[in-house]
Amino acid sequence: MERRFSAPSSDDLAPPGPRPEHGPGEADGPTLVPSDMQKTLVVEEPLLDAPPPADPGSTSAPAEAAPRVRKLQPRRRRRVRLKHILPAWSVSLVVHLVIFTALGAATFSGGPPEARPIDFDSALGGADRAVEELPILDDPTDARPDRLEDRLQVAATAPAAETLAADERPDIGSVVMGGGAAPSATPSVRASAAKGGAEGRFLAVEGLKGRNISSFSNVPPALGLDVSVSGQVGGDPTFGVTEIGEALNQLTREILRHLNDHKLTVVWLFDESASMRDDQRVILEKFDRVSSELAKVVDPDKKAGGALNHAIVGFGKKLDLILDKPTLDVEEVRRAIKRLPVDSSGEEATMAAILNSVNHYSGLVAKDRKLILVLVTDESGDDGDDVEPALEALKKTKTALYVIGRQAVFGHAYAHHKYVDPVTKDVYYPTIRRGPESADVECYQWDGLYGRWDEQPSGFGPWELARLTKESGGIYFLLPSEEFMRIRQREKTYTIEVLKEYMPEYVPRATYLLRRDESDLRRNLFGLVAETRDVSYRREFPIDPDGLREAALEQIPIASERLTRLLDIQKRLESLKKHREREPERRWRAHYDLMLAQTVAFQVKTFEYRALMENLAAKPQPPTKQSTPDVTIVFVVDHSSKPLAPESVTAKKYADARRLLDDVVAEYPDTPWSDLAKDTLGRGFSVVLNQWEHSPKYGERSQYVPKY
């Protein structure tokens, strides 16, 4: 492994090759003179310690021949230089010691390297603290960088990533911080863990549980890639906020993050349906604060250069360019929002609006200017099949989509508004498309009596919009509070720590369908959903005795046939138990458990409905009053908890239904599956005949009910 900024070892400091013990030629014989230097004069040094010459007159023979000594000549003393004394390797050693000492001092002085806040997580910009009124921007007293540094230190000690099995096909990767002696400012990507289905898709950094931070914006759009600090990362399809103001605060941080790198045009795309008037009003009230906070950072020179500008677009059945030319003028932006019309068609071509808006402003995209799209809507749209062309346009222009919207209905496409006719005072319940949270419905579409009206929240955004935000690098802001026109205040916010195991698959719809068909469990569960999609019992009955008796007699054999079908469905579900145990995704195991429990509960409902029809056929129930020219009286069948069928016939089924539903509540606490099971228990397994009064013009006046 490469050592970075580590102190040099003794081996590293030594020059290459063996360390010489002596000079060349001192032990290995005379040094050979190159052939081209043979004629070069060799100057020898005088022998300072040579013995004196022998006396020529001496007759004594020397013990050994004295060496011949050359006659000394007067010479100039040569200057000894240091470079001739020190070998080259010594000089290299000194130089390297100085360099490595300087590097070591620069690396290790002052403690461990400072962990810089990572700016690739779009939702970490202040979301780990309570939402402040002022300021949106960072200031010298903001302790956010210190908290981020602490979180990086915690992440650096996270366990090593598991090895991914070759046969796994995860959809979403996880960003983890590499361990080691010092934290790294660059995250790396690993694939999902093998065990526990979706359990390994997202890294839970110890110490962050329970904080209001985005847990998905650090998920990259593709696996197997290293994501740099400045690189694009995957978006967040489920970022919970308490109200629109909080969403705009975070959106302001996102705009500032983009302005660090390039100029920006913000295209505000407003749903023009009547149900959006309140949201538009709140955004208008909050926009001044957003613009004032942005003005603190965008200096006058940047303003002159158009670093940040806004365009206003509305949509319903078609696209309306309210403020076509982007502008910096805040007052002009406010006036444009006020000019948004109400679209009464009841159609929301959301995908077409996204596609056309991006294409219309794509000419502004340049090397130094980008687009972001802010969609404000309370629905998923009526053209969800066109999600891929919309995504292609976003990716082609590198446009991030931000959505300020509502939770999707759990496993169902529609929610309802409540509308009171100002003339007749009759109550109507027009539908709005708000779901499902997955690429296709995965739950029963009826509640044992008629089509679903429970409107159970899912904890996720509608699938098409959630997919677009995730893949484009944007955010889906989930507004938890319900608008005043809804039937009931049912909204509930789920924590991502719980729901991370139940994430829908944000892959292309074609890929989703292929994977569903390849699984025995998923394919069969969806088959049962499709088979019972249009199942419901007759709910409305006349009040005259003969008409009531005749209608009840018609329903008895229908109920008996449906009971047989439900008993068969239970057997088919029980035969899938082995596939349920092998299913890797906790989401689909929860679907199986809930559907089995509901099937048994629906059997009890059928027993009770048939018993009611038998009672009405034998003895029609009289109304409390008769219809008049001003009031129409009819009977309707509603849910009830008061048993009608003989206890000897239904006692075991009652016990089984309660046990299975209680098991779902215990197995999947604080999830939509648990809450829908509680709802089934709460409304009771029986039925009752109630009386409904309305205007004789009820049907005629329905044409004036707004379409949302």
| Tokens found for residue 101 | 């000492």
Q: From the DSSP assignment, how many helices (H) and strands (E) are in the chain?
A: 20, 16
Which of 282, 189, 199 is closest to 242 using CA atoms? 282
CATH number of the domain at 235-407+459-487, out of 3.30.1330.10, 3.30.70.420, 3.40.1030.10, 3.40.50.410? 3.40.50.410
∠ at Cα 388 (384, 392), nearest 5°? 140
Contacts of 125 by beta carbon, 8 Å cutoff, 6+ apart: 119, 144, 250, 253, 254, 257
Q: Where are the alpha helices (DSSP H) in 473-585?
A: 496-499, 509-518, 520-531, 545-575, 577-582
* CATH 3.40.50.410 segments of the chain: 235-407+459-487
State the Cα torsion 326-327-331-332 to the nearest 10°. Answer: -50
Cβ neighbours, 10 Å, residue 49: 5
Q: How far is CA 157 from the centre of its chain?
A: 24
Q: What's the per-residue H, E or C state across 36-100?
A: HHCCCCCCCCCCCCCCCCCCCCCCCCCCCCCCCCCCCCCCCCCCCCHHHHCCHHHHHHHHHHHHH
d(CA 511, CA 513): 5
d(CA 679, CA 665): 10
d(CA 247, CA 373): 14
Which of 191, 179, 186 is closest to 230 using CA atoms? 186
Say whether the peptide bond before residue 300 is cis (omega within 30 degrees of 0): no
Least confident of 11-15, 221-225, 562-566, 690-694: 221-225
Least confident of 13-22, 266-275, 594-603, 661-670: 13-22
**Which tens digits make up the pLDDT trace of 207-263?**
323 333 333 333 333 322 223 233 344 688 888 888 888 999 899 999 988 888 899
Contact assessment for residue 390 and residue 359, using Cβ atoms and an 8 Å cutoff: no
Burial of 24 (0-12, 13-18, 19+ CB in 10 A): exposed
**Which tens digits make up the pLDDT trace of 317-339?**
999 999 999 998 888 999 999 99
Contact assessment for residue 246 and residue 127, using Cβ atoms and an 8 Å cutoff: no
pLDDT of 103 above 80: no
pLDDT of 376 above 90: yes
Side chain identity, residue 318: K
Query: Looking at residues 74-90, what average pLDDT do you find?
Result: 55
pLDDT of 704 above 70: yes
State residue 302's pLDDT score. 57
- 490 pLDDT band (50/70/90 cuts)? low
State residue 312's pLDDT score. 96
Which of 537, 540, 528, 502 is closest to 598 using CA atoms? 528
pLDDT of 626 above 70: yes
pLDDT of 612 above 90: yes
d(CA 45, CA 80): 13
Contact assessment for residue 226 and residue 186, using Cβ atoms and an 8 Å cutoff: yes
| Tokens found for residue 364 | 């502004």
d(CA 700, CA 424): 11
Q: Which H or E run contains 281? A: helix 277-297
Query: Looking at residues 515-521, what average pLDDT do you find?
Result: 97
State residue 301's pLDDT score. 62
Which of 683, 609, 685, 607 is closest to 648 using CA atoms? 607
**Which tens digits make up the pLDDT trace of 387-396?**
999 999 999 9
pLDDT of 203 above 70: no
What value does the mean pLDDT of the chain take?
76
pLDDT of 479 above 50: yes
Cβ neighbours, 10 Å, residue 201: 20
Phi, psi dihedrals of residue 301, rounded to the nearest 5°:
-65, -40
| Tokens found for residue 237 | 């399809």
Across 14-23, 90-99, 186-195, 415-424, the highest mean pLDDT is recorded for: 415-424
State residue 532's pLDDT score. 96
Q: How many CA atoms lie within 13 A of 275 on its CB side?
A: 31
Burial of 485 (0-12, 13-18, 19+ CB in 10 A): middle
Bigger pLDDT: 231 vs 364: 364
State residue 261's pLDDT score. 87
pLDDT of 127 above 60: no
Residues in the chain: 708
d(CA 397, CA 365): 7
% of the chain surpassing 70 pLDDT: 66
